[in-house]
Amino acid sequence: MLGICPKYVLSGRLDRGEAAIDSLAPIYAELDGRAVVLFMHPTTLACRRRPESIGPRSRMSVKRSYRMHRVVIIGGGIGGMVTATHLARRFGRSGKAEVVLVDRNRAHVWKPMLHTFAAGTSDYDSEKISFIPHAKLTGYKYWPGDFGGIDRKTRTVTLKATPLPAPGEVLPETTIAYDTLVLALGSQVNDFGTPGVLEHCHFIDDIGDATAFNDLLGSKIVLAAKAGKDLNVVIVGGGATGVELAAELTESMQIVSNYDSALTRTHLRLTLIENASRVLEPFPEKTSHAVEAKLRGLGIDVRTSTKVVGVDAQGVLLDGNQRIDADLVVWAAGVKAPAVMTNLDGLTVNRRGQAEVSDTLQTSTDERIFALGDCAALTGADGKPLPATAQVARQQGLFLAKSLAANIQHAAQLGHFKYRDMGSLVALGEYAAYGTLGSYGFFKGAAFKGWLAQMGHAALYRMHQLDINGPLRGAVIWWSASLRRLVEPRVRTS
């Protein structure tokens, strides 16, 4: 009997709910000599069969109608999303390759905006790009799952059992076969082994962290208002995330207070702690000092050359046996690759857990596995490691899509990545913005601020939207978002 799975094919073993996605094509399937019909839903997997036909250790044999080269991309952040989008566009309907994007979230967001979702000054539902419709429109396949590991011998990746939105529903552990694997896992906050950080601090690593923090922040504000006291928040880390979050939280509190006069009795007491001698250390010293002065002008207590040596339920402990009491502590001090990177079937990583790659973005251990963005370690032309920024991830995603497509379709040699430093921007909410030009173009290294920097900061995100969604669709999304801002509250209140 013919078993038809119109979108996905399973191969290998069906063992207590386990399955392997092997080819996105119709199949002929036979299970222990009995007929089987397979069905696939975008988020669930089922094998409809007679109860007696499958024992506890059954195996499935699959005959494929065809086999395309499969590129599996793990991670739907900036680097992964750009790679998947441009690869799918380059392959089109050629039938030479298929692209599968795996991410534990159901939607993509521009990671430099996470602090605005945490503060409530941007609406996640308005800014997200849902993977399922985008995959359909662009031509790649999306699969939800939490990356668990690699088997390089069988060329498969394992996705851990993943909770689904419906209470109690779980997507079973799954394995996916690959011909080419791209790791785009991004990064997570580095606690540097500081006691109490994991137990008592909040992180802004992904959209789940950001929205959860915003919900908690709203609750804390209401409780503080009812008690007639101030809300004390400590942010550890004076990089771009810490600095921008401090400004956005200040702006959010001011807006909320304007909505409800009862909340004007509650003041947000913000403390920003940086271990280095100045905030925004990668920026020119003049810019760092200007940003620090602006933050102080907003009422933020900025403490540089200050080391946090511990965190507890009541606040943070500083070097020198001092402490700062806090209702909320946000840890934004440094980044490292996700913990899973340190246990990937012998893949070589550095002390920050990043995969060591060559300028083709191939890992030093396995030429079939590529890595980009924050989870990859690559040295630039100046001999320094490339920074963990959206700019690097985007450039590498564009490069890898072009290089892989040419290699798979036309057997061309892989290209060699060259990073172009286009500069840096930091925005302090609606209060101010600062930028520096990079090492390319005119006025190399020049600093600028004000409306020009604000426009540049906003344009980076809008350019990403236009690129990922296409010019027409991206423009419509941009226009509709502008209309929503005219009629909806300026800050998330529910």
More confident residue, 228 or 306: 306
Domain assignment present for residue 441? The answer is no
CA distances from 287 to 185, 235, 246, 279, 486 (A): 31, 20, 17, 9, 32
Q: What is the pTM of this model?
A: 0.84
Higher pLDDT among residues 384 and 45, named by residue: 384
Domain shared by 138 and 228, yes or no: no
CA proximity to 368, closest of 140, 110, 121, 70: 70
Looking at the fold, whether 222 and 208 belong to one and the same domain comes out as: yes
Determine what percent of the chain is predicted with pLDDT higher than 70. 83
Q: Are 210 and 204 in contact (CB under 8 A)?
A: yes
DSSP string computed for 308-348: EEEEETTEEEETTTEEEE-SEEEE-S-EE--GGGGGSTT--
Domain-located, residue 266: yes
The fraction of the chain above a pLDDT of 90, given in percent, is 63
Q: What is the CATH number of the domain that holds 310?
A: 3.50.50.60
- pLDDT band for position 53 (cuts 50, 70, 90): very low
pLDDT at 487: 72
Residue 245 pLDDT > 80, yes or no?
yes
Residue 451 belongs to some domain of the structure: no
My answer on whether 163 and 204 are in the same domain is no
Q: Average pLDDT in the 178-200 region?
A: 96
Specify whether the CB–CB gap between 400 and 361 falls below 8 A: yes
**Do 227 and 169 fall within a single domain?**
no
Q: Are residues 158 and 219 in the same domain?
A: no
Total structural domains within the chain: 3
Please compute the mean of the pLDDT values over residues 45-54 and round it to a whole number.
34
Q: Identify the weakest region by mean pLDDT among 6-10, 22-26, 110-114, 428-432.
A: 6-10
The mean pLDDT value of the chain amounts to: 84
**Pair 279, 247 in one domain:** yes
Cα–Cα distance, 424 to 39 (Å, whole number): 49
What pLDDT band is residue 262 in, cutting at 50, 70 and 90? low
Question: Does 273 share its domain with 354?
Answer: no
Same domain, 379 and 320: no
Domain range enclosing 56: 9-64
Q: Is the pLDDT assigned to residue 398 strictly greater than 70?
A: yes
pLDDT in the model for residue 267: 82
Residue 58's pLDDT is what?
Answer: 31
Q: Is the pLDDT of residue 358 over 80?
A: yes
For residue 363, pLDDT beyond 80: yes
pLDDT tens digit string along 293-319? 999 999 999 999 999 999 999 999 999
More confident residue, 132 or 6: 132
Given 333, 366, 401, which residue is the final one in a domain? Answer: 333
Q: Are residues 308 and 202 in the same domain?
A: yes
In a domain, 215, yes or no: yes
* 281, pLDDT greater than 50: yes
Same domain, 75 and 140: yes
Q: Residue 173 pLDDT > 60, yes or no? A: yes
Please tell me which residue, 154 or 473, carries the higher pLDDT value.
154
In this structure, the answer to whether residues 272 and 214 fall within a common structural domain is: yes
For 407-458, the pLDDT digits (tens) are 999 999 999 999 999 889 999 998 999 998 877 666 777 888 888 888 888 8
Q: In this predicted structure, what is the pLDDT of residue 226?
A: 85
Report yes or no on 428 lying in a domain.
no
CA-closest candidate to residue 141, choices 24, 270, 266, 287: 24
pLDDT for the residue 261: 62
Phi, psi of 138, deg, nearest 5: -95, -35
Mean pLDDT confidence for 268-289: 94
Q: Residue 310 falls within a domain, yes or no?
A: yes
Q: What is the mean pLDDT of residues 236-257?
A: 92
Report the candidate in 59, 123, 13 with the shortest Cα–Cα distance to residue 482.
Answer: 123
Query: Does 394 reside within a domain?
Result: yes
Token pair recorded at residue 98: 């298929």
What is the structure's pLDDT at 427? 93
**Helix runs in 179-231, H state only:** 197-200, 207-227
Q: pLDDT tens across 375-397, in order?
A: 999 999 889 999 999 999 999 99
Residue range 192-197: average pLDDT? 96
Q: At what angle do helices 285-297 and 240-259 cross, to 10 degrees?
A: 20
Q: What's the CA gap between 300 and 294, in Å, rounded?
A: 9
Q: Kindly state whether residue 432 falls inside one of the protein's structural domains.
A: no
Same domain, 51 and 110: no
Last residue of a domain, one of 358, 388, 418: 418
Q: Report the alpha-carbon distance of residue 240 to residue 284 in Å, rounded.
A: 13
- 56-92 pLDDT tens trace: 333 332 233 347 899 999 999 999 999 999 999 999 8
